[in-house]
Each structure stands twice: as structure tokens, then as C-alpha cells.
């Protein structure tokens, strides 16, 4: 006689295998917006998360304005053209969580951004650094080039696959850290940065 446990495990295995189950693929897999519409949609959706989003031409000046005098931790391979004069920059060469927490914010790039959801995706690329940089400091300033913005999530995943990044540590960021776990009251900064600033740049600088 089959025990109840065996029956449940068999049902779990059957469901996990997907045998006999037709998976719907009717969702949109490619966008229809033009370049400027796509960038505008991204800026709109990002701002809905209580994120500060700015169209920037002069990246160093925009970074200096965003950090408001705070020090910034940066990946060692952050482009020199992004580094603002007059701002204390600390290169991350294995800083501990306590050391990261003592720094005012972090400055990184991203790999791809999704207009429909207002999401930035980091893959620990040279201009992004390790995941801790975007999780520990209280401020995250992220540089997003317009050419990195796609309309839909499937397009972002296809880009990651095309560049062989699907096995990298992926971090999807939609706004600053926030939770409503405690008495349904929104609290920001519990699981990551309290403030997120996204700088949307037209051309590489």
C-alpha cells in the first residue's frame, strides 16, 4: 500500500517534470516602442518606486549632485570618466560589510534595464562590482545608458543569454529597498539601500 508521503512525493515529482503540461507562451517576448518612448517609459516606471531618476549628459556632475557630499564606494574598474572630482571615492578591494556600511553610498553601472518594470539588472560586471556594493551602503547611484534599456523582461533575459551572463550572479533592482512585513507599514532601507538614484545617459562617456 502506498503511503500518503509516497503519494505526495510522486505528485510533486510529476508536477516538477512538467510531463503532460502545456506551458503557455502567449506573453509578449518583444517590445514595440521606439527608442525615445522606451527610455521615457523606463524613466516613468523607475520614478514610481520613489527612485530619483535623471537624464544626464555630464556623468561626473550628476554623480556629485546625487551623492550630496557623501563618500562613494566604487568598483576598482569603474570608468575614469564617471569619477567626479571633489567626491571621496573608495575602491572596493574586499571591504568588509562593516566597512561598506560606513561609506555613504555606492556608484555602479548596470548590464541591462527593463522599461516595462523600471528594473535595473546587475551581473557583477567590471563597472558594477560585487553584489554587496548595491546592497550594503545606504545610497546606490546607478548609471544606465539608453542603449542598455529594453522594453520587456524576455528581451532582457535574451540579452543576458546572448552575452553568456545567465550563470553570473544576477541582481534585479526595482527601486530602493522596502518592506511592509512589520504591521503592514512601509519601511525602507531594511534589505538594501534606502535611496536609489538612476542616471540615464544618452551616450557612453
DSSP-derived 3-state class of residue 27: coil
User: What does residue 168 show for φ and ψ, rounded to 5 degrees?
Assistant: -80, 160
Domains and CATH numbers, the chain: 33-201 (3.40.50.10420)
| Model-wide pTM > 0.85 | no
Q: What is the mean pLDDT of residues 141-146?
A: 96
> Per-residue pLDDT tens for 11-68?
888 777 766 667 777 888 888 999 999 999 999 999 998 899 999 999 999 999 999 8
Secondary structure, 3-state, 87-127: CCEEECCCCCHHHHHCCCEEEECCCEEECCCCEEEECCCCC
The three three-digit cell numbers of residue 11, written as one number: 505528485
Amino acid 56: pLDDT: 93
How far from chain centre, in Å, is Cα 172?
4
The predicted structure's pLDDT at residue 28: 85
Evaluate whether 156 touches 13 at the Cβ level (below 8 Å): no
Q: Do residues 72 and 87 lie in contact, with contact meaning Cβ atoms separated by under 8 Å?
A: yes
Contact 77, 124 (CB under 8 A): no
Residue 198 has pLDDT above 90, yes or no: yes
Kindly state the average pLDDT of the residues 124-135.
Answer: 94
SS3 (DSSP) at 72? strand
Task: Tell me the pLDDT tens digit for each residue of 64-83.
Answer: 999 988 999 999 999 999 99
Nearest alpha carbon to residue 201 among 86, 75, 39, 32: 39
In the block, cell 503532460 appears at 20
Using CA atoms, how far apart are residues 109 and 133, in angstroms rounded to an integer? Answer: 11
Strands 171-173 and 119-122: antiparallel
Question: Is the distance from CB of 178 to CB of 186 less than 8 angstroms?
Answer: yes
Amino acid at each position: 500500500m502506498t503511503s500518503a508521503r509516497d503519494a505526495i512525493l510522486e505528485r510533486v515529482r510529476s508536477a516538477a517534470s512538467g510531463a503532460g503540461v502545456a506551458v503557455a507562451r502567449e506573453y509578449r517576448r518583444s517590445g514595440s516602442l521606439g527608442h525615445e518612448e522606451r527610455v521615457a517609459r523606463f524613466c516613468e516606471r523607475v520614478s514610481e518606486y520613489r527612485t530619483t531618476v535623471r537624464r544626464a549628459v555630464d556623468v561626473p556632475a550628476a554623480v556629485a549632485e546625487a551623492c550630496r557630499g557623501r563618500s562613494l564606494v566604487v568598483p576598482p574598474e569603474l570608468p575614469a570618466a564617471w569619477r567626479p572630482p571633489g567626491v571621496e571615492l573608495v575602491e572596493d578591494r574586499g571591504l568588509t560589510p562593516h566597512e561598506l556600511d560606513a561609506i555613504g553610498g555606492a556608484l555602479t553601472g548596470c548590464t541591462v534595464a527593463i522599461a516595462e518594470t523600471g528594473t535595473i539588472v546587475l551581473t557583477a560586471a567590471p563597472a558594477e562590482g560585487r553584489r554587496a556594493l548595491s546592497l550594503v551602503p545606504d545610497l546606490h547611484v546607478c548609471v544606465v545608458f539608453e542603449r542598455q534599456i529594453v522594453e520587456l523582461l524576455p528581451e532582457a533575459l535574451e540579452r543576458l543569454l546572448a552575452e553568456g551572463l545567465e550563470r553570473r550572479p544576477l541582481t534585479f533592482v526595482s527601486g530602493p529597498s522596502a518592506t511592509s512585513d512589520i504591521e503592514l507599514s512601509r519601511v525602507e532601507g531594511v534589505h538594501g539601500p534606502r535611496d536609489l538614484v538612476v542616471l540615464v545617459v544618452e551616450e557612453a562617456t
